[in-house]
Amino acid sequence: MIFDVDPRHKIIAGWLFVMVAMVFAMVVLGGITRLTESGLSMVEWRPVTGWFPPMTEAEWLAVFEKYQQSPEFHKVNAHMDVHDFKSIFWMEFLHRLWGRIIGVVFAVPFAFFMIMRWLDRALTLKLALMFVLGGLQGLMGWYMVKSGLVDRPDVSQYRLTVHFGLALVIIAYMEWVALGLLHPDTGKSTGGRRFAILVACWTFITALSGGFVAGLDAGFAYNTFPLMDGALIPDGLYSLSPWIRSAFDDILTVQFNHRVLAISLLVLIGVFWLKARYFVLQPRPRRAVNFLLGVVIAQAVLGITTLLLVIPIPLAVAHQAGAVIVFMAAVRVAREMQSSARSV
């Protein structure tokens, strides 16, 4: 059955894909900010008045004096003068500015679509939820930064992972809604759809485990593969008390879990790709399944290379971006299987 797509829905879907690209860029920019240790350079959160950077030397000195009160300055960057400070300030400022721009690029078209009566009630609620999630992401970002402004000049790995996970949820929700506007459901439900949703969920969990690796700087340890500390299953796993803390606080266990989840995801997607051969698929979902297999293989190779080379910034940023791409590909497959797949 062929569905005619409302031209207005095509415009809205195109706008949502632009938003997905902007949030993706925000995640990449956040990774660069973290890896260059720039994220704690701004010790104030000014959501309304923070559009402009310091303009005069006096303003720069005032901002730098506030940074000098932070634990990061005292424990890590006490050698910095105001010129050195600018090099880390600009990256964090750009990260926050891009978030504000995303909010405007979402809010203005959203208001236009409502004024023009292009939205039904269901779509209005979906877009409103996206806007709320975006606002919560901004709050979560500042909550994360605050954790590094108290005693220890490192953000909480818990808050960092929630911040990253919320970005993935926003991307997935926008992508899902946009694809639904372009390709309405056929009403069919197959085993392939359920399997695809499992793959997407497992991809999300694996990406979150990477957030804990990043938050603990766990990638800078145990830089061998496939052995870890000289063994496939290293000694000392889950050694903290209570044991469950190790999954989030122990560098050895966190990195081991990420390896296991990543390898199992690669296998799971490989099995899904083989199983998908027994479904009759249109060219579009078939390409989506093939793309998912391709990107997860590339991501696995990139992850191993990044580990072995001890986390060079360009590869680490690419690996974080790759995690988002794999997740987006998995969400797309799940959406395509919902509307296009049927077993034989």
The CA distance from 46 to 215, in Å, is 25
- pLDDT at position 344 is 34
Q: Are residues 150 and 282 part of one domain?
A: no
Tell which of 160, 184, 208 closes a domain.
184
Express each pLDDT in 195-249 by its tens digit.
999 999 999 999 999 999 999 999 999 999 999 999 999 999 999 999 999 999 9
Tell which of 152, 184, 216 closes a domain.
184
Query: With bands split at pLDDT 50, 70 and 90, how would you rate the model's confidence at 3?
Result: low
Q: How many domains does the chain have?
A: 2
Hey, what amino acid is at 330?
A
Global pTM?
0.93
CA distances from 197 to 11, 116, 259, 267 (A): 27, 35, 22, 15
The CA distance from 73 to 70, in Å, is 6
Q: Which of 74-78, 88-92, 156-160, 337-341 has the lowest mean pLDDT?
A: 337-341
Q: Are residues 37 and 118 part of one domain?
A: yes
- pLDDT at position 1 is 44
Q: Are residues 281 and 254 part of one domain?
A: yes
Q: Are residues 173 and 217 part of one domain?
A: no
Express each pLDDT in 68-92 by its tens digit.
999 999 999 999 999 999 999 999 9
The CA distance from 289 to 286, in Å, is 5
Backbone dihedral angles phi then psi of residue 289, each to the nearest 5 degrees: -65, -45
The CA distance from 65 to 145, in Å, is 18
- pLDDT at position 191 is 57
CA distances from 316 to 55, 86, 206 (A): 33, 23, 16
Averaged pLDDT, 322-329: 98
Query: Quick one: which H or E segment has residue 280?
Result: strand 279-280
Nearest to 159 by CA among 175, 173, 140: 140
Averaged pLDDT, 260-289: 92
The CA distance from 120 to 127, in Å, is 11
pLDDT at 16 over 70: yes
Averaged pLDDT, 24-29: 97
pLDDT at 306 over 80: yes
Tell which of 149, 184, 219 closes a domain.
184
State the chain's mean pLDDT as an integer. 93
Q: Are residues 160 and 14 part of one domain?
A: yes
Contact 285, 334 (CB under 8 A): no
Q: Are residues 138 and 1 part of one domain?
A: yes
Neighbours of 8 (CB within 10 A): 14
β-strand partners of 342: 280
pLDDT at 268 over 70: yes
Averaged pLDDT, 286-313: 97
Contact 330, 268 (CB under 8 A): no
Q: Is 231 helix (H, G, I), strand (E, B) or coil?
A: strand
Neighbours of 301 (CB within 10 A): 11
Q: Are residues 268 and 159 part of one domain?
A: no
Query: With bands split at pLDDT 50, 70 and 90, how would you rate the model's confidence at 185?
Result: confident
Contact 257, 209 (CB under 8 A): yes
Q: Are residues 163 and 25 part of one domain?
A: yes
Q: Are residues 227 and 163 part of one domain?
A: no
| pLDDT over 70 percentage in the chain | 96
Q: Please indicate whether residue 306 or residue 185 has the higher confidence score (pLDDT).
A: 306
Q: Are residues 118 and 2 part of one domain?
A: yes
Helices (H) and strands (E) in the chain, counts: 11, 2
- pLDDT at position 190 is 53
Give the distance from CA 286 to its chain's centroid. Answer: 25
Hey, what amino acid is at 214?
A
Domain residue limits at 278? 188-344
Contact 90, 41 (CB under 8 A): no
Q: For the chain, how many residues are written?
A: 344
Q: Are residues 196 and 87 part of one domain?
A: no
- pLDDT at position 188 is 59
Express each pLDDT in 78-129 by its tens digit.
999 999 999 999 999 999 999 999 999 999 999 999 999 999 999 999 999 9
Query: With bands split at pLDDT 50, 70 and 90, how would you rate the model's confidence at 343?
Result: very low
Hey, what amino acid is at 161?
T
Express each pLDDT in 30-71 by its tens digit.
999 999 999 999 999 888 888 999 999 999 999 999 999 999
The CA distance from 259 to 300, in Å, is 10
